[in-house]
Amino acid sequence: MNSIHTSEEIKDGLSEPVVIAVARPVSTVFSWLVWLVPVLLLLVALLPKADLPVAGKVTLSLLHLVEAAVITAVLWLAPRRLKYTLTRDALMIQCLSGVQRIPLRGLKARLTAGQLGTRTFGMGLPGYLSGHFRLRGDALGVTGVQAVTSNPNQGVLLFGHGKAPFFVSPANAPSFLHALAERGVQVESNL
């Protein structure tokens, strides 16, 4: 499990990359229902297939087994790939599709009480949200964000570089903001 470092550890080693713990995912009924998809595919693979030759039955069963395995792998792997690493000059966000680098120069950051709403583009899995989302309830009126997060309820907004703000969910937001401030990021105090 990733761990958050204290400000003393960060201060002593600004040149060393610091892994920032990701917030725990929110568990909902929907999160558990999503896992029924691979289970149902496994059951379909095991059901008898009438009116097909033996080769067709075997092929269809194998296809359903492969589908179940791929879906299970994505559901299991996606939340485990999500990682935030803070370097001297950038925030590196590791996600399912690779690594996004957000330069710290010119960046502003603040907490938000807003929640991710409708996904307009991207992927939403239990414990893994990536893409463009509507933001509801932000005190300063931000409505559209790019998110790479595990928890849609409360996070940190990162502004800069002319794009939509980034929504990230560190486990310890105040420590994360402190570490950003030590690296020259302008941290705003209002929600």
Residue 130 C-alpha from the chain's centroid = 5
Percent of the chain with pLDDT over 70: 88
pTM score of the predicted model: 0.74
| In the predicted structure, residue 100 carries a pLDDT above the cut 70 | yes
The reported pLDDT for the residue numbered 87 is 92
3-state secondary structure of 119: strand
> Which residue has tokens 């509801």?
136
Burial of 37-52, coded b for 16+ CB within 10 Å and e otherwise, reads ebeebeebbeeeeeee
Domain boundaries, the chain: 7-23+84-188, 29-79
